[in-house]
């Protein structure tokens, strides 16, 4: 490996891939004890920054308030510049509301074409895309995913066979849409999985069936799992009880 990074040779530019960030926030209870006017002013400042960034990157807000004890709301952020996440976070932190909000989890990943989907091509195949296409589903189930090193020592043919079973099980649940992004070298996990659905019972049944698949024996970690409820950002902040 070269000591100094080099630019790609001319003519070898790759198709652009998106950076993806799932950032979960916890609100300091002291915020709810502030005078109402101060809370409102701080939230208005925060919303002003949020809506400015919404014109620059893809932003999808979700509430988890009352569902998990360690996260109150989440922003699903998608951009072609990783620096956008840093700059947006800095501006949000400087607002009145931002002083009482701390990230409790933050996961970073990128889009990448899956090596397992060629045998299962269908319309809008998620594994072939380098762009995230978020649906209008009410619920989002998010979790980091890590496979064992033994998985990567298997031959491509062996892994493909097990993934064929995995993909076929997924096709039995068309009400659940999977978004897979890749974290290799960027974050602690290897993948980020984000399932969109309007039917949580279908997702429960899907996960139970996947537990019985052959590939599941190579799973090292697939927690924590976050159940998120989609909403406009104003309603998401309103759900926080301020």
**Class of residue 219 by CB neighbours under 10 A (exposed 0-12, middle 13-18, buried 19+):** middle
| Residue 13: predicted pLDDT | 53
The verdict on whether omega for the bond into residue 39 sits within 30 degrees of 0, i.e. cis, is no
Average pLDDT over residues 41-60: 98
| Residue 120: predicted pLDDT | 45
pLDDT tier, 116 (very low <50, low <70, confident <90, very high otherwise) = confident
| Residue 2: predicted pLDDT | 61
Q: What is the pLDDT of residues 201-212, one digit of tens each?
A: 999 999 999 999
pLDDT tier, 24 (very low <50, low <70, confident <90, very high otherwise) = very high
- Mean pLDDT across the chain: 92
Q: Where are the domains positioned within the chain? A: 19-109, 125-228
| Residue 212: predicted pLDDT | 95
Distance CA 175, CA 202 (A): 7
Q: What is the pLDDT of residues 123-146, one digit of tens each?
A: 444 545 689 999 999 999 999 999
3-state secondary structure of 12: coil
Model confidence at 8: pLDDT above 80: no
Q: What is the pLDDT of residues 75-98, one digit of tens each?
A: 999 999 999 999 999 999 999 999
Q: What is the pLDDT of residues 210-242, one digit of tens each?
A: 999 999 999 999 999 999 999 999 999 999 987
Distance CA 36, CA 136 (A): 33
| Residue 125: predicted pLDDT | 47
| Residue 9: predicted pLDDT | 67
| Residue 122: predicted pLDDT | 46
This prediction's pTM? 0.91
Q: How many residues does the chain have?
A: 242
CATH architecture for residues 125-228: 2-Layer Sandwich (3.30)
Model confidence at 121: pLDDT above 60: no
Distance CA 206, CA 119 (A): 21
Model confidence at 7: pLDDT above 90: no
Distance CA 236, CA 55 (A): 19
19-109 to CATH, choices 3.40.50.10740, 3.40.50.620, 1.10.10.10, 3.30.70.1030: 3.30.70.1030
| Residue 180: predicted pLDDT | 96
β-bridge partners, 73: 25, 63
Pull the structure tokens for residue 207. Answer: 């996960």
Distance CA 210, CA 167 (A): 10
């Amino acid at each position: 490996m070269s000591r100094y990074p080099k630019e790609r040779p001319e003519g070898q530019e790759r198709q652009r891939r998106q950076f993806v960030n799932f950032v979960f926030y916890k609100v300091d209870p002291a915020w709810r004890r502030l005078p109402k006017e101060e809370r409102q002013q701080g939230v208005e400042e925060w919303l002003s920054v949020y809506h400015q960034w919404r014109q620059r990157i893809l932003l999808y807000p979700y509430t988890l308030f009352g569902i998990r004890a360690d996260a109150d709301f989440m922003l699903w952020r998608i951009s072609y510049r990783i620096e956008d996440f840093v700059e947006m976070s800095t501006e949000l932190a400087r607002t009145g509301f931002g002083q009482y909000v701390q990230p409790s989890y933050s996961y970073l990943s990128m889009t990448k074409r899956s090596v397992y989907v060629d045998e299962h091509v269908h319309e809008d195949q998620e594994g072939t895309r380098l762009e995230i296409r978020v649906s209008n589903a009410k619920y989002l189930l998010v979790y980091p995913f890590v496979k064992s090193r033994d998985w990567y020592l298997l031959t491509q043919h062996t892994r493909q066979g097990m993934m064929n079973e995995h993909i076929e099980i997924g096709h039995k649940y068309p009400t659940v849409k999977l978004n897979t992004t890749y974290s290799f070298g960027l974050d602690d996990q290897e993948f980020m999985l984000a399932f969109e659905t309007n039917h949580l019972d279908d997702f429960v049944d899907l996960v139970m069936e996947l537990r019985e698949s052959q590939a599941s024996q190579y799973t090292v970690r697939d927690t924590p799992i976050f159940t998120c409820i989609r909403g406009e950002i104003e309603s998401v902040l309103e759900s926080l009880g301020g």
